[in-house]
Amino acid sequence: MFTRERDIEVTYFDIPTPKIPVGRALKFALISDLHSFMYKNGHEDLISLILSHSPDIALLAGDIVDEKVSTRGAYVFAEKIAKRLKSFYVTGNHEYRRNDVPKIKEDFARFGIRVLTNECVRLSAGGCDFILAGLDDERGFDTTEAWLSDAKAALEPLKSESVPKILLIHKPHLVKHFTDYGFDAALSGHTHGGQIRTPFKKRGVYSSGQGLFPELAEGEYDIDGLKLIISRGLAIEPHLPRFFNPPQLVFVTLTGARG
């Protein structure tokens, strides 16, 4: 069982791309599935841990807010991280279970977090221009088909862009729909590492949307040429079961490479 900040596993992923000049890099902190959990000292230790790795941008990949507990843990974190680091957020399925997503989005925006709802923004960091695309969770639409149609329409202009492109999406099993937009990486959460992991091979047991022994549970995958990074998330008991499955803070760096 995992109950303390020192149990957080910090994981790094480096993705080389010729779209960035050699010697330059973009570094993202991937923060997922906090589920309104409150780390000690009002998240100060967690935020210090994030900042100690000097990311350019924080990407909040959904389920930051949980429907079963107070929003306080989520809101304290959101307000504090926005004051110290440029931050972007997409919803997850648990936010939509609360039936107050418009208020959550409004509050996060008030804190200074940019909320992305099937849209793209052009940004600059680390001496590099890039595009960040953020997709709302599919539960915000009447059907998955309606969500997919709206998302693809929002992403269509990206096909002609040659700058680095990042996709922020809560559910990794939906990334398969977006492999032809030229993304350098897709960043997600949702799976909680498969909830409970087997002790030896560290294989996740279950994930919503994928079922038993999910193929996409944690770490790095190649989906038809698109790099997919999945975080196990940050919530700790009593919010979520974590057996052989410590909470995780992920850093993804796009590094310049020769073409």
Position 237 scores a pLDDT of 61
**Residue 134: strand, helix, or coil:** strand
Which domains are assigned to the chain? 9-256 (3.60.21.10)
Position 16 scores a pLDDT of 95
Distance CA 94, CA 86 (A): 24
Long-range (24+ apart) CB contacts under 8 A made by 44-48 are: 44/80, 45/5, 46/5, 46/8, 46/77, 46/234, 46/249, 47/77, 47/80, 47/81, 47/84
Run of H or E residues at 110: helix 101-111
Q: Are 226 and 178 within 8 A, CB to CB?
A: yes
CA 60 to chain centre: 5
Question: Binning pLDDT at 50, 70 and 90, where does residue 136 land?
Answer: very high
Tokens of 244: 């052989």
Position 58 scores a pLDDT of 98
Q: Is the peptide bond before 247 cis (omega within 30 degrees of 0)?
A: no
Run of H or E residues at 221: strand 219-223
Q: Are 94 and 63 within 8 A, CB to CB?
A: yes
Give residue-wise pLDDT tens across range 192-249.
764 555 555 555 555 566 555 556 677 899 999 999 999 999 988 655 666 667 889 9
pTM of the predicted model over 0.95:
no
Q: Return the percentage of the chain with pLDDT > 70, whole number.
A: 85
Give residue-wise pLDDT tens across range 47-101.
999 999 999 999 999 999 999 889 999 999 999 999 999 999 999 999 999 989 9
